[in-house]
Structures are given as C-alpha cells and as structure tokens.
Amino acid sequence: MALHRLGRGALTGLLTVVLLILVSGVASAHNVGGTRFDSPLPLSLLFAGAGGTVALTGIWLAVTDRSATDVGTHTVAMLDARIVRWVSRIAAGVFFLGVLVAVVVGFLGRQVAAENFATVFTWSVWFRGLGLVAILVGSPWRVLSPWRALYRGLCRLEGDEIALLGNYPSWLGSWPAVAGFVVLIGILENLTVVPQSPALTTVLLAVYALAMVGGAVLFGPVWFDRADPLGVLYRLFGRVAGVSTERSSGSVEISVRPPWRGCTSPVAGPAVVVFVVAAVYTVSFDGFTNTRQYQSLLFSARDLVGIGSEMEILLYVVGLLVFTGAFVLTVLVGDSIGVSDRTDSAVTTDGGQLAWLGAARAFAPTVLPIAAAYDVAHNYPYVIRSTARIVELSATSLDVGVQSLEPLGWLSIPVFWGSQVFLIVVGHVIAVVAAHTVAVERYRSLSAARKGHLPLLVLMIGYTVLSLWIISQPVVR
C-alpha cells in the first residue's frame, strides 16, 4: 500500500537522524542542569539529515496516490458520562484551589521565585504544563478554566446568563486572544522579570481574571472562546493530540487518531491564522533569546536605535511581523500555483474575500505540529521538575517531611539533546503530512497538490534547520 511505503520512507529518514546522532563530531547544545553537551556529529550533517527527512516525507507524499485521510480513528474506550463528569468537577475544583493558593501565597509568601507556590505553579505547571497536556490528549481548559467557573457562579447569582452588552462583535474575531498571547506569553513571560516575582505574578493573575470575567460579563461566554489567550492556545494545541473524545447521551467515546488529523480543517479566521504563526514563532524566539547570536543582535540594535530594555520587545514584534509575512507570502505563492494547475475553473474563496485568505485559513493549522513539537522539546524538563517542586512546596507547607525530588535525575544531557532533535523532526514530518492532505483536498488533484504544497514544504525544511540550529547553540543566560 502507498501509505505503508510512505511510512517506511518517513521511518527510514527518522532512523537516519537517530543514527547520525551516534556518529562522531562536535556541536554545542542547550544545557540541562548547568552543563554543556558536545553533540556527537557535525551540525552540517545533523541539519542535512533532519532537513532530508522532512524533504523525503514530502517526496513520498507527492508520488503516492492516496491521502493520509485514509488512516482513520480507532475507539479504545467507552466511559460512563457520569464518571467523566465527576472526575472533571474534581479536577476543576483542585485546579481552582491551586489558583487561589497561588494568589494568596504570591502576595504573602516568601518573594523568591523557586520557593514560592505562585511562580512555580503559574508559569510552569499551569501555563506550560497544561499546554503539554493539550498536545498529548486535547485541551483541558474548558473544564479547568477558573474564569469560566467564576462566570458560572455570577450567572447562578443572577439567575440567568449575563451579557450586559449583548452579542460578541463578529468583527472582533479572535484578535483579543492574539493580543493577549503576544503580551502574556511573548512579552511578559519571555522578556520581563514578572515570572521571577511572586508578587508581580499575582498581579498578573488578578488582571488576567478581571479581563476574562469582565469580558464574559459584557459579552457572554463566547468571550472565553474568542478572547482567552490560553484557551485559544490549548485548543489549537489540542488539534495535534492523538486522542479525541466524543460525547453521546450516556457515554464518552475515547479514540486514537493520527496526529495530523485535527490539523487538516481550516481555522476560524485571519486572527487565528496570526495566532498560529505567533505560537510557532514565539517558542522559537524564546529559544533564540538564549543564544550568543541574539545577545549580539540585541546590543547592536540598542546601540543603533538608542533605547534600552524596550529593544527586546521591539525585536520580538518585528520578528513576529516578518514571520507572519513570510508564512502568508508562502501560502499565497503556493495557492497561486495550485489553483492555476487545477483541472476545473472554480476558485476557492473565503466568505467573499480573496482566495489567499481561504488558503491561509486552510494551511495555518498544518504548522501546529511544529509549534507543538518544539514546545514539548523545549519545556518538558521544566514542567516535570516544576511539578516535583510543587509537591515539595506543598509538603513543606503541611509540615510533611519529603526528600528533594529529582524526577529527571536519570536524564543525561545526550539523551535530552537527542530527544529535542527527535521531537522537532517528528513535528515537522507530521506538519508536512497535514499540509499535503490539505493541498490534495483544496486543489482536487495530485498534480496540483504537489505544486501548491511545494513552497510550504520548502519553508518547513528551512524552519527544521533553523529550529535545530537554535537548540544546537550554547545557552548564554
């Protein structure tokens, strides 16, 4: 079968990358635990192997005559809906309690980031940890969101759903979530001292809560779907999950699916397109800020422009605009090629808008596996260690003696570095499969799909190399 040949081709490429890691050479990589690791192969060989794997996947897809949609979902369990409901309520209650404790301890506790529940819980276990959960099994945010819980409580007091200003403005789309993501994750988390300050973290949570609950009071619960940056982020990450759930009258069906399956349906509008690109860009920018090259760029830009700490924000915003423009231009070129090679005369439009907007909406979710893979590779040690730290802090507050936990004590630097390479390459391979599937469905012929997919494939290969280059650089701060 064609798909089996595709699987063998992609697997061969991935094994090539793994084997390359075992040969000799030198390349510095991000550190874990304050040490440096010399990669066992030349960077040029690593880049060629990884980029070649992504390219090989695209080539195999181009020569096959079957779509990846032929791989279906498989039901693995049927759960009683009442049990699921109670488990969800307990999880939501525990999480809500965690948020309350973070707010109180953030103000009253010791103002040391590593020893305060607020900073450890908020930035790693909550913001990053739930992102990893969403990537693995789907977004948990609709169940766990403390803002929805507060809003539901207000509605119970009022006796009806609250929406003081009526319906949410359709023209606003998901732009509030885009702005919130850029400010919350792109700037405050990555470029300021807020994550290192328990008090400032608590202030941030208070502002976040006010914005979410206040917006819902004005426009109703749709505000959470359109304006909550974490809600939108986790929902997009959930598209990559290999697990899906479907509720019926009395049960919940748990199924497994290919990780590209959820990345083949269009996103809602241009704001979500920008959000997807921002998610891909921000995690890469976060890694880039730890490199010597970024520090040189930062200080040179400061000297040139004559501003101080604001320069990091300016670099982030300019980079986001460039990244977004590059993606839209690539999609525009590919769509022009694909549409021109179609066998019919119909042109896909997007609500009366230009065809390229429909293409951007169609292809944007195909890059989500890249963002998800990099997010997992970049953050899983941070999340695991911080979760252990939460256990230690909780035990200390309850006067329960517990030894220092080292859940990753077994993880050597070479294994960690190799896992980053593997995850990034796998994420790009999944993205290529998703993009090819969308191209076949959009252009309605294999020939047109090959040509229409090519510009995005080239962009993905380039981003594979860029991602691996970032993780290969020694950490300087």
Question: Mind listing the pLDDT tens digit for each residue in 91-116?
Answer: 999 999 999 999 999 999 889 988 89
Query: What confidence tens digit (pLDDT) does each residue in 194-206 have?
Result: 999 999 999 999 9
Q: Do 64 and 84 fall within a single domain?
A: no
Pairing of β 243-247 and β 74-80: unpaired
Domain identity same for 286 and 435 = yes
pLDDT at 9 over 50: no
Q: What is the pLDDT of residues 16-27, one digit of tens each?
A: 444 444 333 333
Look at residue 89 and tell me whether its pLDDT is greater than 80.
Answer: yes
Q: Which of 5-19, 34-48, 246-260 has the lowest mean pLDDT?
A: 5-19
- What lies within 8 Å, CB to CB, of 91 at 6+ separation is 140, 143, 144
Q: 152 and 53 in one domain? A: no
Containing 76, the helix (H) or strand (E) segment is: strand 74-80
Number of domains in the chain: 2
Residue 19 pLDDT = 42
98 and 64 share one domain: no
Contact present, 228 and 177 (Cβ < 8 Å): yes
What's the pLDDT at 465?
84
Mean pLDDT of the chain: 82
140: left (phi over 0), alpha (psi -120 to 50) or beta: alpha
Q: In this predicted structure, what is the pLDDT of residue 24?
A: 35
Which among 228, 257, 286 is the end of a domain?
257
Report, as an integer, the average pLDDT of 117-133: 94
List of residues 6+ apart from 246 with CB closer than 8 A: 252, 253, 255
**In terms of domains, do 367 and 415 share one?**
yes
* 88 and 113 inside one domain: yes
| Confidence band of 36 (pLDDT split at 50, 70, 90) | very low
| Same domain? 124 vs 227 | yes
Q: Which of 317, 288, 457 is nearest to 378 (CA)?
A: 288
Q: Are residues 272 and 358 in the same domain?
A: yes
Backbone angles phi, psi at 274, to 5 degrees: -65, -35
Q: Domain range for residue 27?
A: 1-71+266-477
Instruction: Answer for the pair 432, 58: CB distance below 8 angstroms, yes or no.
Output: yes
Q: Rounded mean pLDDT of 48-53?
A: 72
* More confidently predicted of 153 and 33: 153
Beta strands in 227-345 (DSSP E): 243-247, 251-256
Task: Tell me how far apart the alpha carbons of residues 60 and 72 are, in angstroms, rounded to a whole number.
Answer: 20
Tell me the average pLDDT across 306-319: 88
Residues 384 and 476 in one domain: yes
- Asked if residue 182 and residue 83 are part of one domain, the reply reads yes
The per-residue pLDDT for 20 is 41
To the question of pTM greater than 0.75 for the whole model, the response is yes
Task: Report the 10 Å Cβ neighbour count for 274.
Answer: 26
Other beta carbons less than 10 A from residue 295's beta carbon:
13
Residues 413, 35: contact at Cβ < 8 Å? yes
Q: Are residues 133 and 245 in the same domain?
A: yes
Burial of 242-268, coded b for 16+ CB within 10 Å and e otherwise, reads bebeeeeeebbebeeebbbbbbbebbe
Least confident of 59-73, 117-131, 450-464: 59-73
Q: Which of 217, 232, 257 is a domain's end point?
A: 257
Give CA–CA dist 443/351, Å, rounded.
18
Q: For a pLDDT cut of 90, what percent of the chain falls above it?
A: 42
Residue 475: which of 424, 416, 405 has the closest Cα? 416
